[in-house]
Amino acid sequence: MTRRSLLLSLLAMPATAQAQDRFITLASTTSTEQSGLFGHILPAFTRETGIAVRVVALGTGQALDVGRRGDADALLVHDRAAEDRFVAEGFGGPRRQVMYNDFILVGPAADPARIGELGDVAEALRRIAAAGAPFVSRGDRSGTHAAELRLWRLAGVDPLAGRGGWYREVGQGMGPALNAAAAQDAYLLADRGTWLAFRNRQSLTILAAGDARLLNQYGAIAVSPQRHPHVKAAEAQRFIDWLCGPAGQAAITGYRINDEQLFFANAATRG
């Protein structure tokens, strides 16, 4: 290395270090990570702003707990009731609507509970319980787990009565839960985005979809600097503004697998 190039390298180091310091921590769901969405949209945000995004992928309940502790700057999650509690308790906000997709009931192609002809997700769950057919639950306080429990209540079924038998909790994210269902020829509630990115389907297929009660809405929340003064509030808000603005919404819309759109941007819609 010449003396001139060495000098130029040394002069560049403070700027590089400063750029590396420009990042936020985003606590989000395993579905946004495992579907491949972040790999598509986050580089575009970083190129535009110079702010990197470090993702902590957890179930929504755990992601909200990370926000409560001030261990993240922003959240992207999908359990509206829990999100509203987080904001009401003063841990962050306001909540911004970002995008949606839907939940689906997948199961073995043999379909022992005979739910494939149904458009009613509650009736599908009743049939699974009545048949004692294996059902894998994430069991991890995620947004998907919360949605699953709401649907069981809607069906009038207590799945925990089948715990240890037909109802099998794995306590893990969407990918491992899908792997477990594939290995056990079991039914499972999944988000469509992770399902489309999932390769180890074995005999699993979509058996129930399209019920309006299967809507899967995502929201973004900046963690409160009043509650946690150390958070990177300005950078977190810039990320949320980008995510809900034209560039971010276009990036979400543009993410496809096998020409199928995984998420539908709807920040312009009140919710």
Q: Which helix (H) or strand (E) holds 119?
A: none
Return the higher-pLDDT residue of 188 and 8: 188
C-beta of residue 129 within 8 angstroms of C-beta of residue 221: no
Overall average pLDDT of the 139-158 stretch: 95
pTM of this structure? 0.85
Tokens representing residue 87 in the block: 């904001």
Overall average pLDDT of the 93-113 stretch: 96
What percentage of the chain reaches a pLDDT higher than 70?
92
Mean pLDDT, rounded, of the chain:
91
Counting Cα atoms < 13 Å in the Cβ hemisphere of 232 gives: 20
- Domains, the chain, ranges and CATH? 22-100+217-265 (3.40.190.10), 102-214 (3.40.190.10)
CA dist 51 → 236, 240, 250 (Å): 10, 12, 19
Residues 145, 148, 153, CA angle at the centre, nearest 5°? 130
pLDDT tens-place string over residues 219-241? 999 999 999 999 999 999 999 99
C-beta of residue 203 within 8 angstroms of C-beta of residue 44: no
Banded model confidence at residue 78, pLDDT cuts 50, 70, 90 = very high
pLDDT at 172 over 70: yes
pLDDT tens-place string over residues 240-262? 999 999 999 999 999 999 899 99
CA dist 226 → 15, 70, 177, 221, 236 (Å): 30, 11, 37, 14, 14
